[in-house]
Amino acid sequence: MYFYALVRKQEHADAVKKLGVEPVLFNGLQDTEQIRKISADYDVVINNASAQDAAAAKAFIEGLGDRKAKNSSEVYYIHTAGASSFGDNPITGSYHETRVFSDTDPDIAEYIKKRNEHTEYHQRTTDLTVIETGEAVGVRTYIIMPPLIFGRGTGPFNTISVQIPSMIRGALAAKKSGMLKECTAVWSHVHVQDLAELYKILFTKVFIEKAGEDQVPSGRKGIYFAETGEASWRSVAEEVGKVGKDLGRLETEKLQEIDIQEAANRWTGGSVEYVEAAFLSNSRTRAELSRSLGWKPTRESMWENAVREDYEAILASS
Protein backbone atom coordinates (compact mmCIF):
# COMPACT_ATOMS: atom_id res chain seq x y z
CA MET A 1 0.00 0.00 0.00
CA TYR A 2 1.31 3.44 -0.93
CA PHE A 3 0.36 6.88 0.34
CA TYR A 4 0.70 10.13 -1.59
CA ALA A 5 0.17 13.76 -0.59
CA LEU A 6 -0.68 16.70 -2.82
CA VAL A 7 1.60 19.63 -1.96
CA ARG A 8 2.18 23.05 -3.52
CA LYS A 9 5.80 23.68 -2.50
CA GLN A 10 9.05 21.73 -2.72
CA GLU A 11 9.79 22.24 0.99
CA HIS A 12 6.46 20.59 1.77
CA ALA A 13 7.32 17.76 -0.59
CA ASP A 14 10.61 17.22 1.24
CA ALA A 15 8.83 17.18 4.61
CA VAL A 16 6.20 14.57 3.71
CA LYS A 17 8.78 12.39 1.98
CA LYS A 18 10.59 12.05 5.32
CA LEU A 19 7.37 10.53 6.69
CA GLY A 20 7.36 7.83 4.03
CA VAL A 21 4.68 9.58 1.99
CA GLU A 22 5.26 10.21 -1.70
CA PRO A 23 4.69 13.89 -2.56
CA VAL A 24 2.81 15.02 -5.66
CA LEU A 25 3.37 18.66 -6.57
CA PHE A 26 0.28 20.40 -7.95
CA ASN A 27 -0.79 23.92 -8.88
CA GLY A 28 -3.41 24.36 -6.16
CA LEU A 29 -7.13 23.82 -5.70
CA GLN A 30 -8.03 26.30 -8.43
CA ASP A 31 -6.61 23.97 -11.12
CA THR A 32 -9.55 21.58 -11.20
CA GLU A 33 -8.49 20.00 -14.50
CA GLN A 34 -5.19 18.94 -12.97
CA ILE A 35 -6.93 17.73 -9.80
CA ARG A 36 -9.26 15.52 -11.80
CA LYS A 37 -6.36 13.97 -13.71
CA ILE A 38 -4.36 13.34 -10.55
CA SER A 39 -7.34 11.91 -8.67
CA ALA A 40 -7.91 9.37 -11.45
CA ASP A 41 -4.64 7.66 -10.47
CA TYR A 42 -5.78 6.67 -6.97
CA ASP A 43 -8.26 4.42 -5.19
CA VAL A 44 -8.89 6.68 -2.20
CA VAL A 45 -8.78 10.46 -1.86
CA ILE A 46 -8.87 12.16 1.55
CA ASN A 47 -9.51 15.88 1.11
CA ASN A 48 -8.26 17.88 4.09
CA ALA A 49 -7.38 20.94 2.01
CA SER A 50 -10.64 22.91 2.08
CA ALA A 51 -14.15 22.44 3.40
CA GLN A 52 -15.46 25.30 1.27
CA ASP A 53 -14.09 24.68 -2.23
CA ALA A 54 -16.93 22.93 -4.04
CA ALA A 55 -15.19 22.99 -7.43
CA ALA A 56 -12.10 21.23 -6.10
CA ALA A 57 -14.18 18.61 -4.26
CA LYS A 58 -16.16 17.97 -7.43
CA ALA A 59 -12.93 17.53 -9.43
CA PHE A 60 -11.52 15.03 -6.93
CA ILE A 61 -14.68 12.94 -7.08
CA GLU A 62 -14.98 13.12 -10.86
CA GLY A 63 -11.38 11.93 -11.15
CA LEU A 64 -12.20 8.94 -8.97
CA GLY A 65 -15.24 8.35 -11.15
CA ASP A 66 -12.98 8.30 -14.22
CA ARG A 67 -10.81 5.66 -12.56
CA LYS A 68 -13.81 3.52 -11.67
CA ALA A 69 -15.18 3.74 -15.21
CA LYS A 70 -11.82 2.70 -16.65
CA ASN A 71 -10.88 -0.08 -14.22
CA SER A 72 -14.27 -1.19 -12.85
CA SER A 73 -12.74 -0.96 -9.36
CA GLU A 74 -14.34 0.57 -6.28
CA VAL A 75 -13.09 4.01 -5.28
CA TYR A 76 -13.63 6.13 -2.18
CA TYR A 77 -13.66 9.83 -1.30
CA ILE A 78 -13.32 11.07 2.30
CA HIS A 79 -14.11 14.76 2.71
CA THR A 80 -13.35 17.05 5.64
CA ALA A 81 -16.19 19.48 6.30
CA GLY A 82 -17.12 21.07 9.62
CA ALA A 83 -19.87 21.60 12.15
CA SER A 84 -20.40 25.23 11.14
CA SER A 85 -22.69 23.76 8.47
CA PHE A 86 -25.16 23.30 11.34
CA GLY A 87 -24.41 26.63 13.00
CA ASP A 88 -27.40 28.92 13.42
CA ASN A 89 -27.55 32.73 13.28
CA PRO A 90 -28.42 33.80 16.82
CA ILE A 91 -26.87 37.26 16.58
CA THR A 92 -28.32 38.48 13.29
CA GLY A 93 -31.48 36.54 14.11
CA SER A 94 -32.02 35.03 10.68
CA TYR A 95 -32.08 31.42 11.92
CA HIS A 96 -32.33 29.84 15.38
CA GLU A 97 -31.53 26.19 16.09
CA THR A 98 -31.96 24.28 19.36
CA ARG A 99 -31.54 20.79 17.93
CA VAL A 100 -28.75 18.46 19.03
CA PHE A 101 -27.77 16.54 15.90
CA SER A 102 -26.76 12.88 15.74
CA ASP A 103 -24.97 11.40 12.76
CA THR A 104 -27.48 8.54 12.95
CA ASP A 105 -30.36 10.95 12.21
CA PRO A 106 -31.80 9.97 8.80
CA ASP A 107 -32.40 13.54 7.64
CA ILE A 108 -28.94 15.11 8.03
CA ALA A 109 -28.28 15.59 4.30
CA GLU A 110 -31.79 16.94 3.75
CA TYR A 111 -31.36 19.33 6.67
CA ILE A 112 -28.16 20.70 5.12
CA LYS A 113 -29.97 21.20 1.83
CA LYS A 114 -32.90 23.05 3.43
CA ARG A 115 -30.58 25.21 5.51
CA ASN A 116 -28.64 26.14 2.39
CA GLU A 117 -31.85 27.05 0.59
CA HIS A 118 -32.66 29.34 3.53
CA THR A 119 -29.16 30.84 3.77
CA GLU A 120 -26.44 29.84 1.33
CA TYR A 121 -23.12 29.06 3.00
CA HIS A 122 -20.07 27.93 1.04
CA GLN A 123 -19.39 24.98 3.30
CA ARG A 124 -22.95 23.64 3.03
CA THR A 125 -22.78 24.11 -0.73
CA THR A 126 -19.62 22.01 -0.76
CA ASP A 127 -21.21 19.32 1.44
CA LEU A 128 -24.06 19.00 -1.04
CA THR A 129 -21.69 19.01 -4.02
CA VAL A 130 -19.79 16.09 -2.50
CA ILE A 131 -22.94 14.03 -2.03
CA GLU A 132 -24.51 14.85 -5.39
CA THR A 133 -21.32 14.40 -7.44
CA GLY A 134 -20.63 11.07 -5.76
CA GLU A 135 -24.12 9.89 -6.66
CA ALA A 136 -23.75 11.12 -10.25
CA VAL A 137 -20.47 9.31 -10.98
CA GLY A 138 -20.83 6.28 -8.73
CA VAL A 139 -18.20 7.19 -6.13
CA ARG A 140 -18.70 6.32 -2.48
CA THR A 141 -18.36 9.52 -0.47
CA TYR A 142 -17.87 10.01 3.26
CA ILE A 143 -18.02 13.39 4.99
CA ILE A 144 -16.36 13.90 8.37
CA MET A 145 -17.76 16.96 10.17
CA PRO A 146 -15.55 17.93 13.10
CA PRO A 147 -16.73 20.54 15.61
CA LEU A 148 -14.24 22.89 17.30
CA ILE A 149 -10.85 21.13 17.15
CA PHE A 150 -8.41 21.57 20.01
CA GLY A 151 -4.98 20.22 20.93
CA ARG A 152 -1.66 19.96 19.13
CA GLY A 153 -1.27 18.03 15.92
CA THR A 154 1.74 15.81 15.23
CA GLY A 155 2.28 16.61 11.55
CA PRO A 156 5.16 18.51 9.92
CA PHE A 157 3.21 21.69 9.16
CA ASN A 158 0.50 23.59 11.04
CA THR A 159 -0.07 21.91 14.39
CA ILE A 160 -2.83 24.10 15.84
CA SER A 161 -6.42 24.60 14.75
CA VAL A 162 -8.44 27.70 13.81
CA GLN A 163 -11.08 28.86 16.25
CA ILE A 164 -9.34 29.10 19.62
CA PRO A 165 -6.08 30.37 18.04
CA SER A 166 -8.03 33.07 16.18
CA MET A 167 -9.63 34.21 19.43
CA ILE A 168 -6.22 34.25 21.10
CA ARG A 169 -4.59 36.28 18.33
CA GLY A 170 -7.48 38.74 18.43
CA ALA A 171 -7.09 39.10 22.19
CA LEU A 172 -3.33 39.59 21.92
CA ALA A 173 -3.82 42.37 19.37
CA ALA A 174 -6.49 44.13 21.48
CA LYS A 175 -4.83 43.32 24.83
CA LYS A 176 -8.24 42.05 25.97
CA SER A 177 -10.42 39.05 25.27
CA GLY A 178 -13.80 39.99 23.84
CA MET A 179 -17.26 38.50 23.44
CA LEU A 180 -20.72 39.67 22.47
CA LYS A 181 -22.93 40.30 25.47
CA GLU A 182 -25.82 38.41 23.87
CA CYS A 183 -23.82 35.32 22.91
CA THR A 184 -24.96 32.22 24.82
CA ALA A 185 -24.21 29.71 22.06
CA VAL A 186 -22.65 26.27 22.55
CA TRP A 187 -20.44 24.15 20.29
CA SER A 188 -19.18 20.60 20.54
CA HIS A 189 -15.42 19.95 20.45
CA VAL A 190 -12.85 17.19 19.82
CA HIS A 191 -9.11 16.74 20.30
CA VAL A 192 -7.23 16.67 17.00
CA GLN A 193 -5.59 13.32 17.76
CA ASP A 194 -8.94 11.73 18.61
CA LEU A 195 -10.19 13.12 15.30
CA ALA A 196 -7.23 11.56 13.48
CA GLU A 197 -8.22 8.19 14.91
CA LEU A 198 -11.62 8.50 13.24
CA TYR A 199 -9.98 8.97 9.84
CA LYS A 200 -7.85 5.88 10.44
CA ILE A 201 -10.88 3.81 11.41
CA LEU A 202 -12.98 5.00 8.47
CA PHE A 203 -10.16 4.40 5.99
CA THR A 204 -9.52 0.93 7.38
CA LYS A 205 -13.20 -0.02 7.31
CA VAL A 206 -13.93 1.09 3.76
CA PHE A 207 -10.64 0.33 1.98
CA ILE A 208 -8.84 -2.42 3.91
CA GLU A 209 -11.76 -4.39 5.28
CA LYS A 210 -14.09 -3.53 2.37
CA ALA A 211 -16.97 -3.11 4.80
CA GLY A 212 -20.38 -2.96 3.19
CA GLU A 213 -22.86 -0.12 3.10
CA ASP A 214 -24.75 -1.65 6.02
CA GLN A 215 -21.67 -1.28 8.22
CA VAL A 216 -20.21 1.97 6.88
CA PRO A 217 -22.86 4.13 5.18
CA SER A 218 -21.78 6.47 2.39
CA GLY A 219 -23.37 9.29 0.41
CA ARG A 220 -26.41 10.90 2.02
CA LYS A 221 -26.10 8.60 5.02
CA GLY A 222 -22.32 8.84 5.17
CA ILE A 223 -21.97 11.99 7.28
CA TYR A 224 -19.85 11.37 10.37
CA PHE A 225 -19.54 13.58 13.44
CA ALA A 226 -16.65 13.63 15.93
CA GLU A 227 -17.23 15.04 19.41
CA THR A 228 -16.22 14.35 22.99
CA GLY A 229 -17.77 17.30 24.83
CA GLU A 230 -19.12 20.81 24.44
CA ALA A 231 -18.66 24.32 25.79
CA SER A 232 -20.10 27.79 25.36
CA TRP A 233 -18.26 30.37 23.31
CA ARG A 234 -18.43 32.70 26.30
CA SER A 235 -16.56 30.19 28.46
CA VAL A 236 -13.88 29.89 25.77
CA ALA A 237 -13.51 33.68 25.59
CA GLU A 238 -13.32 33.84 29.40
CA GLU A 239 -10.53 31.27 29.40
CA VAL A 240 -8.69 33.23 26.70
CA GLY A 241 -8.83 36.26 29.00
CA LYS A 242 -7.84 34.34 32.12
CA VAL A 243 -4.86 32.55 30.57
CA GLY A 244 -3.72 35.63 28.67
CA LYS A 245 -3.66 37.69 31.87
CA ASP A 246 -1.90 34.88 33.72
CA LEU A 247 0.80 34.82 31.04
CA GLY A 248 1.22 38.58 31.26
CA ARG A 249 0.01 39.15 27.71
CA LEU A 250 -3.38 40.78 28.37
CA GLU A 251 -4.22 43.85 30.43
CA THR A 252 -7.12 42.15 32.20
CA GLU A 253 -8.88 38.81 32.31
CA LYS A 254 -12.25 40.56 32.25
CA LEU A 255 -14.16 40.18 28.99
CA GLN A 256 -14.53 43.24 26.80
CA GLU A 257 -18.01 43.64 25.36
CA ILE A 258 -17.78 43.81 21.56
CA ASP A 259 -20.23 43.74 18.65
CA ILE A 260 -20.35 41.26 15.78
CA GLN A 261 -18.32 43.44 13.41
CA GLU A 262 -15.54 43.79 15.98
CA ALA A 263 -15.62 40.03 16.52
CA ALA A 264 -15.28 39.56 12.77
CA ASN A 265 -12.40 42.02 12.62
CA ARG A 266 -10.59 40.19 15.41
CA TRP A 267 -11.22 36.58 14.46
CA THR A 268 -12.15 36.18 10.78
CA GLY A 269 -10.54 39.01 8.86
CA GLY A 270 -13.77 41.00 8.82
CA SER A 271 -16.25 38.34 7.64
CA VAL A 272 -19.48 38.73 9.64
CA GLU A 273 -21.03 35.68 7.95
CA TYR A 274 -18.14 33.44 8.92
CA VAL A 275 -17.71 34.75 12.46
CA GLU A 276 -21.37 34.12 13.25
CA ALA A 277 -21.32 30.64 11.73
CA ALA A 278 -18.05 29.47 13.27
CA PHE A 279 -17.60 31.50 16.49
CA LEU A 280 -21.01 32.67 17.73
CA SER A 281 -23.48 29.98 16.67
CA ASN A 282 -24.98 26.89 18.24
CA SER A 283 -23.68 23.66 16.74
CA ARG A 284 -24.18 20.62 18.94
CA THR A 285 -23.45 17.18 17.52
CA ARG A 286 -23.33 13.59 18.74
CA ALA A 287 -21.01 11.10 17.03
CA GLU A 288 -23.09 7.95 17.44
CA LEU A 289 -22.46 6.64 13.93
CA SER A 290 -18.72 7.23 14.29
CA ARG A 291 -18.69 5.38 17.60
CA SER A 292 -20.55 2.48 16.01
CA LEU A 293 -17.49 1.98 13.78
CA GLY A 294 -15.34 1.48 16.87
CA TRP A 295 -14.15 5.05 17.38
CA LYS A 296 -13.16 5.48 21.04
CA PRO A 297 -11.87 8.98 21.81
CA THR A 298 -9.71 9.25 24.94
CA ARG A 299 -8.54 12.88 25.20
CA GLU A 300 -11.56 14.87 26.46
CA SER A 301 -9.74 15.55 29.76
CA MET A 302 -7.22 17.64 27.79
CA TRP A 303 -9.92 20.22 27.02
CA GLU A 304 -9.23 22.03 30.30
CA ASN A 305 -5.74 22.93 29.04
CA ALA A 306 -6.73 23.66 25.42
CA VAL A 307 -6.50 27.46 25.54
CA ARG A 308 -3.18 27.51 27.41
CA GLU A 309 -1.68 25.01 24.97
CA ASP A 310 -2.64 27.20 22.00
CA TYR A 311 -1.30 30.32 23.72
CA GLU A 312 2.04 28.58 24.21
CA ALA A 313 2.20 27.49 20.57
CA ILE A 314 1.32 30.96 19.26
CA LEU A 315 3.76 32.76 21.54
CA ALA A 316 6.55 30.30 20.74
CA SER A 317 6.17 30.96 17.02
CA SER A 318 5.92 34.76 17.26
The pLDDT value given to residue 249: 98
Q: In this structure, what are the phi and psi dihedrals at residue 189, rounded to the nearest 5 degrees? A: -145, 165
Domain count within the chain: 1
The answer to the question of residue 7 being in a domain is no
Q: Which long-range contacts (CB under 8 A, 24 or more apart) does 53-56 make?
A: 53/29, 53/126, 54/122, 54/125, 54/126, 54/129, 55/29, 55/30, 56/29, 56/30, 56/32
Which residues, in sequence order, are bridge partners of residue 229? 189
The torsion of the CA quartet 83, 89, 90, 91, rounded to 10 degrees, works out to 120
The pLDDT value given to residue 251: 98
CA 31 remoteness from chain centre: 22
The answer to the question of residue 237 being in a domain is no
CA contacts within 13 A on the Cβ side of 31: 11
Q: What SS3 class is residue 177?
A: coil
- What letter would DSSP give residue 92? T
Question: Which value, in Å, is the radius of gyration of the alpha carbons in the chain?
Answer: 20
The answer to the question of residue 39 being in a domain is yes
Task: Please name the amino acid found at residue 129.
Answer: T
The answer to the question of residue 242 being in a domain is no
The residue among 82, 66, 53, 249 whose CA lies nearest residue 161 is 82
The answer to the question of residue 104 being in a domain is yes
The pLDDT value given to residue 201: 98
| CATH code, domain carrying 131 | 3.40.50.720
The pLDDT value given to residue 167: 99
Angle at 26 between CA 73 and CA 34, to 5 degrees: 55
How far is 279 from 233, CA to CA, in rounded Å?
7
Residue 73: other Cβ atoms inside 10 A: 9
The answer to the question of residue 137 being in a domain is yes
Which ranges of the chain have pLDDT less than 70?
none
Residue 126: other Cβ atoms inside 10 A: 25
The answer to the question of residue 241 being in a domain is no
Residue 110's domain spans which residues?
31-160+186-231+282-300
User: What is the rounded end-to-end Cα distance, in angstroms, of the chain?
Assistant: 39
How far is 245 from 209, CA to CA, in rounded Å?
50
The pLDDT value given to residue 318: 85
Helix axes 272-279, 260-267, angle to 10 degrees: 90
The answer to the question of residue 119 being in a domain is yes
